[in-house]
Amino acid sequence: MQVKKKLCDVCNNLSFIWKTSGTGGKKLCKKCSTTGVDMKKPTTKAKPIAPRSQKRSKEERLYSAKRVLFLLEFPMCQANIQGVCKGQATEVHHKKGRIGNDLLDETNWLALCHNCHEYVENHREFAMEKGFSIKRIT
């Protein structure tokens, strides 16, 4: 059986047909079938993964509102660390962290100034001794 050369539907050169399946009935030579000329699949951008779930977004909106009220209720720094404290509370420290239900659990919140908050975060042993942080795993 002898194979005949035919015209490529893309480049119009007389050559051996290399590919016909998956091309929408087009006859393609080897060059056109490997370069993907006129065969590009429609590209759709993949939907990016959301940085946080809808549930967590709701919790964070609720937290923002509760945080403002908490800082109004406790305007002064509750840590009052000597040589570090600036006095006015501007941040909420989560003694047990912010994971899961701990984000909204006000029993584990402390109103701190920025300097005390940084000190508590960077000196974990001191924070544990003074009760500014609680072990997350019991």
| pLDDT band, residue 119 (cuts 50/70/90) | very high
Within a 13 Å sphere around the CA of 3, how many CA atoms are in the beta-carbon half? 7
Within this chain, do residues 69 and 122 fall inside the same structural domain, yes or no? yes
Quick one: tokens of 119? Answer: 């000190």
Residues 6+ apart with CB under 8 A from 79: 85, 93, 110, 112, 113, 116, 117, 119, 120, 130, 132
Give the per-residue pLDDT at 133.
Answer: 94
Within this chain, do residues 32 and 78 fall inside the same structural domain, yes or no? no
Q: Answer yes or no: is 49 within a domain.
A: no
> How many separate domains does the chain show?
2
Q: Answer yes or no: is 97 within a domain.
A: yes
Alpha-carbon distance values, 5 to 2, 13, 29, 39, 109 (Å): 10, 9, 10, 21, 80
Within this chain, do residues 60 and 6 fall inside the same structural domain, yes or no? no
| pLDDT band, residue 137 (cuts 50/70/90) | confident
Average the pLDDT over 88-114 and give the result: 94
Look over the chain and give the mean of its residue pLDDT values, rounded to a whole number: 87
Give the per-residue pLDDT at 54.
Answer: 94
Alpha-carbon distance values, 41 to 3, 24, 36, 44, 108 (Å): 30, 12, 9, 9, 54
Within this chain, do residues 31 and 64 fall inside the same structural domain, yes or no? no
Measured CA to CA, the distance from residue 71 to residue 129 in angstroms comes to: 24
> 117 pLDDT exceeds 70?
yes
| pLDDT band, residue 3 (cuts 50/70/90) | confident
Provide the domain limits for residue 123: 54-130
Give the per-residue pLDDT at 22.
Answer: 63
